[in-house]
A and B are shown apart, each in its own frame.
Chain A
Amino acid sequence: MINHFKGGIHPPESKLTAGLPTIDMPVPKQVVIPMSQHIGAPCEPVVKKGDHVKVGTLIGDSSARVTCPIYSSVSGTVKAIQPILTAAGTEMTSIVIETDGEQTLEEGFGPVEAETKEEKLEAIKRSGLVGLGGAGFPTWFKLTPPPNEPFDILLINGAECEPYITSDYREMKENPRMIMEGIMRVLDITGIEKALIGIEDNKRDAIEDLIALDPAYDRIKVISLKTRYPQGAEKQLIYALTGRKVPPGKLPSSVGCLVLSISTVSFIESYFRTGIPLVKRRITVSGGAVANPGNIRVCIGTSLQDVFDFCGGFKEEPRKIIMGGPMMGVAQFSMQNSILKQTNALLALTEDEINTQKESPCIRCGRCVNACPMNLLPLQMNALIVKGRFEAAEKYHVRDCIECGCCSYVCPASRHLVQSFRYGKAELALIAKAKQAAAKGGA
């Protein structure tokens, strides 16, 4: 029944915070909320400098088709609206709010009243929910499949295969019923028959907790997966749970699958009960440099500095601050960057924890080939891309790379494989764009 994807790695799990219950972080003095925390069109600010906002006040919205509204996570005063350099290296309009510490809730929140499917989807859109697992795809959009590709199964991603991160695990330990109710609600909205929850077998107690609830939810099945990175990557998870393979360049809907994360479905349920949009989330703060690692609930927009200060600062010098996991997370260069909707972890890693090995020539050992879960030839693609031969690299399917990092993790020469693939993909996108423009100009 359970399929094992080819390749993958098993890095040290380092789940230091697994046993630590979630604690709420007090409201910081200031939050900075960027207008793009999702895949799709960025929002426009709908408040002005000097405006007073409450928790849950709409502050960013857009009329574009694929987007997701943004709400204030605090009560206070808008101090500035200005472009701020984000971790992605681009400037993004952000709203700076000075908090008053009252955390007054915006009026009018209550259980969501929605009858039809359209109303319910609209409600989810208004909740500001994006996938809480990492990429930040707007959830409402995900729930709307293309008309010719209907869903027939709901898959819940509880793999949490990245080292260190325990935020989904804590959700399973603390709110198992909320997760189950959320799944039932999504099944109800989408009309899907059944759901499978996939959880890596290193979280045995969470699996047991959910199975213990099972009889009440006979449309939901909990499945234990082998602990192997990247078990939680969408295509690999779909294969493990259903045996279906998502073709290159296609979405899970092409094989009838809807994939949501544990925390995402749990939020859907809490939103339908309270009507309070996405303004807070749980993150795992961990790594060898953090004095007091933990799972903490923070206001979206809180600066990294404030989060680390709350966790007792650093006991050792951190060399890398990472938003997300150590395999796919983004290294931060400023402690002023904000926690976003899709941030599931904040790591401060020491010199010993990170890879500091210098790049040396490829010895063609083939470890990357064995580790690649997408069946690619990383060494070959890398050799072509460093020579600037992007179109040749495309023949080796570089565009199908999911950037999981397994190849770089196992490379004895510490080649910057994933980095080169990102570069190659970006160059290929430019080439395609130029070709399109040329074709248009010719016509």
Chain B
Amino acid sequence: MDLRLIGSSSPHIKDKVTTSRVMLDVIIALLPAALMGVILFGWRALVNIAISIAACVLGEYIWNRAVKKPQTIHDCSAIVTGLLLAMTVSPRTPFWMLIIGGLFAIIIVKQLFGGIGMNFLNPALAARAMMMASWPAQMTAWQAPNWMSAMSTEGLTVAVDSVSSATPLALQSLIISNGGVTSAQLPSYKDLFLGNVMGSIGETCALALLIGGIYLIIRKIISWEIPVLFAVSSMVLSLALGLDPLFNLLSGGLMIGAIFMATDYTTSPMTFKARCIYAIGCGLLTVVIRYFGGYPEGVSYAILLMNLVVPLLDKAFIPKSFGTLIEKKGEAAK
């Protein structure tokens, strides 16, 4: 037999996990929340998601063609970015805005810095921040979910006009700025947990996000410390500032941020200790922005700010090789 032998370095075997498989798991984990988004906000949510994904994938395809780089759309990371982007904005976001956002995420935030694994900001969040700064009015035009009962809608309209109705966090902000005196009523925990409130397509249903998060932890795609410490630190600071910790955990983008955004591989630290500091930073900054800031919501800015600290955290926490501690003790003894 004429043998065609491969002579490469060890190891010669590998497990079955690939980059696209990892991304596929993230997509699977996002599906419950995306599905809830479609149920709550109707067909428009589905079209938004499709447009955002198409913009991201096409943007990556065209970029790679234009700069003659190997095609990378099969790694599915652009799909994840597109899905996340659509899920973190209002269901009433105009299509053209989503397309610009998707292209910005992929080309400016991701590809200009070297593509997958090289970007220092979370692409979907950076795009969201850009859209928020560019088109604040359209970005905060919300839509009442299909389930919302007439009564609770009535409660909301007392505080705000019907075109740009209020999200739970906007109500909280209103309460804070009025010194606690307002006729607005915060939604119930049950409505928050099931997603029966106004908000971005994918952020309202805490239950669906939790299912996705548990899936990711079981599949070992993410580790527990970032989502858990993000949530816990935000609740602790909420309590200290006299806010309702559970309300702050369940409303706005905290769940989707803690589970899907802060855990983004490229923009989160590599070692356990650094991840803990990063997650706590995200949680604290979120509440600081919510309480003291001009915006009612702080999750995306908190994560983006902590993204910037990641390279420093990675440098600060280079682990010692196995066995190093003993050596130090020995030297001290001498």
Contacts and interface: CB of A to CB of B under 8 A. Distances in A.
A441 to B, nearest CB: 32
B10 A400 contact: no
Interface residues of A, number: 70
A375 B320 contact: yes
A145 interface: no
B270 A377 contact: yes
Given A377-B319, A412-B22, A354 B12 contact: yes
Interface in B279-334: 314, 318-327, 330
A367 B5 contact: no
Interface string A403-443: 10100111111101011001000000000000000000000
A362 B319 contact: no
Contacts of A369: 270-271
A367 to B, nearest CB: 7
B90 to A, nearest CB: 30
A317 interface: yes
B14 A163 contact: no
B191 interface: no
A419 B11 CA distance: 9
Interface string B144-155: 000000000000
Interface in A342-379: 349, 353-355, 357, 360-367, 369, 373-377, 379
A365 B10 contact: no
A333 interface: yes
B32 interface: no
Contacts of B11: 326-328, 355, 405, 408-409, 418
A408 B14 contact: yes
Contact of A396 (B3, B318, B330): B318
B12 A412 contact: no
Interface string A310-346: 0001100111111010111111110100000000000
A331 B3 contact: no
Contacts of A380: 270, 314, 318
B78 to A, nearest CB: 13
B179 interface: no
Interface string B172-186: 000000000000000
A329 B8 CA distance: 11
Interface string B110-125: 0000011110000000
A418 B323 contact: no
A333 B7 contact: yes
Given A364-B117, A413-B19, A331 B322 contact: no
Interface stretch (A195-203, A245-253, A295-303): A245-253
A226 interface: no
B73 to A, nearest CB: 12
Contact of A235 (B7, B116, B318, B323): B323
A163 B118 CA distance: 35
A411 to B, nearest CB: 7
11 contacts: A163-B13, A235-B322, A250-B323, A331-B5, A331-B8, A349-B13, A365-B265, A376-B321, A380-B318, A413-B18, A414-B14
Leading 8 A-B pairs by shortest Cβ distance: A405-B11, A247-B327, A355-B14, A419-B9, A245-B323, A400-B321, A333-B7, A397-B321
